């Protein structure tokens, strides 16, 4: 029996009023005084309004972040102390887990059980993990050769310095977790930050801002400017921002590259789109493979840049796998994220609903066959049925482009030799899945696929210690793991002649 999960009282209180943004230690209105609506995607109803930041607010936040960077004490404090404060932020996220999960469900639509079990602990864990890096940002000592000064003696070493003032622009699919992925390594490196949450889902980041101050991160180290793409564009073009980290569409990623190039050549990391291949070999354990492959596309309603949206199945088991995934899709309970039985919530916005149904219409017009789903569910909220398409080809929009919804295209293949060309037939290279009992085939396929992550007999496994990012047009750089620190550090080489 479906039961309604009680919305956490603090979350209810949080959405009960409008929210300014965080600059320094102050919660301020936008310079223009403008605000925008935050809607509940399950109902289309207004939750609250938040400040609509623009270039003026970004400029103010950058000045505040610059002052905080120059005056310290964030990057000049003892690394162990910085680490302790970041760790405390992770603790606070866990302490307020019910509230943060409820805010995610209200704002993004994802099932509460998922937000509570995955988004919140992953965000906390990211800060806990990154806090340990503060004390390990060491340089090297180097013995130079310098052939034109044969008699000289040298003492040379490198230091790792924070890159400075960082702009971070994040999407709406994992609002809290994306904020954590961005903030954690930048904070550990000693940077100061202007975070621009997605306009669809600003609430958990704003609540996180309160926890950031409570944890003892000094004012001005993290500034949170809510607003639309205009605010993000102002960050990307700002001449006093040393680095921008962006997660979002490849299209906007290219605009950010342009803005960096025509302003101060700020450093960039980009985590962009994907159209990830998921490869099922006939020798895999179909009992785990079929639900795993379904989860690879339907988790988070397909609103994952890593979603396994192109399913390639060895022909011998194609019918069985297609049937299994279609059965799962048809049985999935689509509904409000606060319903205890809900497995898939609404898409995040009307725009996203229009985009996904537009793809479904284009697929149908081009001859794709929907063996499950294929259309909107209901007429209130932004629900789409989990969809399995067959009879597609690489020229069709549904197979070529990132849909960012619960839509998979399924295709048979003959044998392992077919996989590299078809799996790599995409401009993206973010992730991939391989399902097999044959260890050699698993690793040979992993090697052949040009993607930043390859999951073997699993999918959507994320952890603070595992680097994540894309080949090709899926982005620049890696998030998480030790590699993420490099995004926020400059290397200084000090050379002394003895």
Please give the residue ranges that form the binding site for ligand ADP (CB under 6 A).
169-171, 196, 198-199, 228-229, 232-233, 236, 248-249, 252, 255-256
How far is 268 from 245, CA to CA, in rounded Å? 6
Q: Which residue of this chain has its Cβ atom nearest to ligand ADP in the complex?
A: 232
Query: Rounded to an integer, what distance in angstroms lies between the CA atom of residue 62 and that of residue 167?
Result: 8
Q: 26-28 and 35-40: which strand pairing?
A: unpaired
Q: Cβ distance 336 to 306 under 8 Å?
A: no
CB of 222 to ligand ADP, least distance (A): 16
> CA 428 to CA 145: how far, in whole Å?
42
Residue closer to ligand ADP (CB basis): 236 or 416? 236
Query: What would the DSSP string read from start to end of 229-283?
Result: HHHHHHHHH-TT--EEEEES-HHHHHHHHHHHHHTT--EEEEE-----EEEE-TT
Residue 249 or 340: the one with the smaller Cβ distance to ligand ADP is 249
- Report the alpha-carbon distance of residue 391 to residue 363 in Å, rounded: 10
Q: What is the smallest separation between the CB atom of 469 and ligand ADP, expressed in angstroms?
A: 16
Which of these, 303, 319, 301, 309, lies nearest to 278 by C-alpha position? 309
- Encode 71-99: b = buried (16+ Cβ within 10 Å), e = exposed: eeebbebebeebbebbbbbbebbeebbbb
Least distance between ligand ADP and beta carbon 244 (Å): 8
Residues 6+ apart with CB under 8 A from 25: 213, 219, 220
Q: How far is the CB of 235 from ligand ADP (least distance, A)?
A: 7
Query: Element (H or E) spanning 28, and its range?
Result: strand 26-28
- Taking the least distance from each CB to ligand ADP, the nearer of 115 and 235 is 235
Asked if 483 is an active-site residue, the reply is no
Minimum CB distance to ligand ADP smaller for 209 or for 232: 232
CA-based nearest residue to 403, from 417, 420, 386, 419: 386
| Residue 232 C-beta: closest distance to ligand ADP, Å | 2
- By C-beta, is 262 or 288 nearer to ligand ADP? 262
The residue (of 126 and 403) whose beta carbon lies closer to ligand ADP is: 403
Angle (CA) 347-113-292 rounded to 5° is 75
Grouping H, G, I as helix, E, B as strand and the rest as coil, residue 358 is helix
Q: How far apart are CA 80 and CA 188, in angstroms?
A: 10
* Closer residue to ligand ADP in complex, CB, 228/471: 228
Tell me which of 52, 271, 402, 473 is the catalytic residue: 271
Minimum distance from residue 53 beta carbon to ligand ADP (Å): 10
SS3 state at 462: coil
Nearest distance from C-beta of residue 362 to ligand ADP, angstroms: 17
* Residues with a known catalytic role: 271
């Amino acid at each position: 029996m479906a039961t309604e999960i009680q919305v956490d009282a603090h979350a209810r209180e949080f959405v009960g009023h409008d929210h300014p943004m965080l600059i320094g230690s102050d919660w301020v209105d936008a310079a223009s005084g403008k605000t925008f609506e935050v809607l509940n995607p399950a109902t289309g109803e207004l939750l609250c309004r938040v400040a609509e930041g623009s270039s003026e607010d970004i400029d103010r936040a950058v000045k505040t972040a610059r002052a905080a960077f120059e005056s310290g004490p964030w990057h000049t404090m003892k690394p162990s102390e910085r680490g302790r404060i970041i760790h405390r932020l992770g603790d606070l996220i866990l302490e307020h887990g019910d509230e943060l999960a409820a805010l995610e469900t209200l704002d993004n639509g994802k099932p509460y059980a998922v937000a509570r079990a995955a988004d919140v602990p992953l965000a906390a864990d990211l800060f806990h993990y990154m806090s340990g890096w503060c004390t390990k940002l060491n340089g090297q000592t180097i013995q130079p050769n310098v052939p034109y000064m044969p008699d000289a003696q040298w003492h040379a070493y490198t230091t790792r310095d924070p890159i400075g003032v960082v702009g971070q622009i994040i999407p709406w699919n994992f609002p809290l977790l994306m904020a954590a992925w961005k903030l954690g390594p930048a904070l550990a490196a000693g940077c100061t930050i202007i975070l621009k949450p997605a306009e669809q889902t600003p609430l958990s980041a704003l609540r996180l801002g309160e926890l950031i101050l409570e944890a003892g991160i000094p004012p001005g180290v993290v500034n949170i400017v809510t607003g639309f793409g205009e605010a993000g564009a102002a960050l990307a073009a700002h001449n006093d921002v040393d680095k921008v980290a962006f997660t979002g569409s490849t299209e906007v990623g290219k605009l950010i590259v342009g803005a960096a190039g025509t302003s101060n050549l700020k450093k960039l990391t980009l985590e962009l789109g994907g159209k990830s291949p998921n490869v099922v070999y006939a020798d895999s354990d179909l009992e785990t493979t079929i639900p795993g492959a379904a989860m690879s596309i339907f988790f988070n309603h397909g609103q994952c840049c890593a979603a396994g949206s192109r399913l390639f199945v060895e022909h011998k088991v194609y019918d069985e796998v297609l049937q299994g995934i279609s059965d799962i899709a048809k049985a999935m309970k689509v509904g409000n994220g606060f319903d205890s039985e809900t497995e898939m919530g609404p898409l995040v916005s009307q725009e996203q609903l229009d985009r996904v149904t537009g793809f479904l219409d284009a697929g149908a017009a081009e001859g794709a066959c929907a063996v499950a789903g294929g259309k909107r569910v209901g007429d209130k909220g932004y629900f789409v049925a989990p969809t399995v398409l067959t009879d597609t080809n690489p020229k069709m929009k549904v197979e070529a482009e990132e849909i960012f919804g619960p839509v998979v295209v399924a295709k048979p293949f003959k044998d392992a030799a077919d996989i590299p060309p078809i799996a790599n037939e995409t401009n993206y290279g973010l992730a991939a899945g391989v399902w097999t009992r044959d260890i050699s085939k698993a690793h040979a396929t992993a090697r052949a696929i040009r993607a930043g992550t390859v999951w073997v007999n699993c999918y959507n496994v994320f952890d603070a210690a595992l680097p994540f990012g894309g080949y090709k047009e899926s982005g620049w750089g890696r998030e998480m793991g030790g590699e993420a620190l490099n995004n926020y550090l400059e290397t200084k080489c000090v050379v002394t002649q003895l």
